Copies of this chain bind each other. A is one copy, B any other.
Amino acid sequence: MIEKQRPFGELITYDEALSTLLKEIDPIERKEIVPLNDAFERILASDAESDMFVPPFDRAAMDGFAVKAEDTFEAGKFDPTELKAVGKLHAGDSPDKKLRKGECIQIATGAPMPEGADAVVKVEVTEKENEMVSIYQPVHPGENVSPKGEDIEKGETVLKKDIFLTSSRIGALAAMGKEKIEVYEKPKIGIIPTGDEVVPVGKKLEPGQIYDVNSHTLTSVVNKNGCIPFSGEVVHDSIEGLKEGIEKEIDEMDMILFSGGSSVGDKDVLIDALDSIGEVIFHGIKLKPGKPTLFGKVEGISVIGMPGYPTSCLNTAQQLIKPALRKLSRLPEPPERRTKAVLQKRITSSLGRQQYMTVRLDNGKAQPVYKQSGAITSMAQADGYFEIPENKELVEKGEKISVILF
């Protein structure tokens, strides 16, 4: 059977592959309620409406004296107005005294304004002697006061559903007293390694065996992109084994990633398994590393066959699976660190194939660290990578390139 070779059909471009994949993925609809702190960097699943005013009461915005503004209109630098201090209010106090004409109340920033007062005179322009306070500057009504609801009105929709919860949005939810937040669930991603030679890390290797690398790199990519990884056991390279692998997970998962089994060797039978219980959508991408990538659907769930070589698998995960996971989990585009560097070696690429080349950076110089395509160290020891677009055959030594940092 080894002689059986099933060449790829026509390879599609990376852009086609990505748009085809994204078109087939629907953002998650399941919701869950989580404690406020756990909602950080999740996606809000229902509008956050405030059922209170923030601040909940008129409060002093400065340390000083709460007054009736009109009592101060005559005050001047050389001709102070005198008011009688009739109490003190600290933040957290509840005012019980009503201010009358000719009176003032000492007040701290954040303390609630007493009834009858409509402004705060800053302590810097006052002088207090016993019970009498000299006011050296007039204030207008509302001056140095944060009115109730200034930040958030009762009934206001402060955050719309589907928004990404940054630190400040967590803060806004806290200000409204929201203890529990409705967010979208994190999608569940099944990760199934295949290959008769593949053994879980931690077991002893027998001759001919290698460790499962891809489950671990895929787990990190899934975690990083708002989803929950579920690592399965190694599945054997047979149509039956793979079908079983899919059927076991299809009801639980929102997406299934196989690693290995997606190439054209006789044991690469994922395409047959997919064909028999679902549909194959594409097989083979003009992407290097990452060509033997397979995409299909079973019962509406995306099943993706990732290349078996660790670097190919991880590159495909970064370029293709990451955007798919983010559409599924509703996360916004992630930040990216780029830097310019001077390429230290001429690199040739194939026309019609999007290529990614790992580099090590040293003082603005980019040294390619590509080994062979199975070599995980070519990525692990690199600082980042650059893209060679489909229509470019050559990048010259000395050319300035834009490096995406890992």
Contact = CB atoms under 8 A, between A and B. Distances in A.
B372 A208 contact: no
A305 interface: no
Interface in A209-239: 209-217, 219-221, 223-224, 237
Contact of A372 (B57, B63, B146): B146
A380 B158 contact: yes
Interface string A135-166: 00000000000100011100000110000001
The bracket for how many chain A residues form the interface is 35 or more
B56 A171 contact: no
A389 interface: no
Given A36-B216, A314-B167, A375-B150, A5 B123 contact: yes
A2 B195 contact: no
Interface in A47-80: 52, 54-57, 61, 63
Interface string A30-54: 0000001100110000000000101
A170 B175 CA distance: 40
A172 B374 CA distance: 11
B36 A201 contact: yes
Interface in A165-221: 166-179, 195-198, 201-202, 205-217, 219-221
A371 interface: yes
B377 A152 contact: yes
Contacts of A94: 206-208
Contact of A210 (B55, B150, B213): B55
Contacts of A158: 377, 380-381
B108 A374 contact: no
Contact of A217 (B88, B167, B219, B375): B167
A265 interface: yes
A208 B168 contact: no
B2 A63 contact: yes
A9 interface: no
A341 to B, nearest CB: 16
B208 A175 contact: no
Interface stretch (A109-117, A250-258, A278-286): A109-117
A405 interface: yes
A55 B174 contact: no
A376 interface: yes
A36 B231 CA distance: 13
The 4 lowest CB-CB distance pairs between A and B, nearest first, are A92-B196, A168-B379, A92-B197, A172-B380
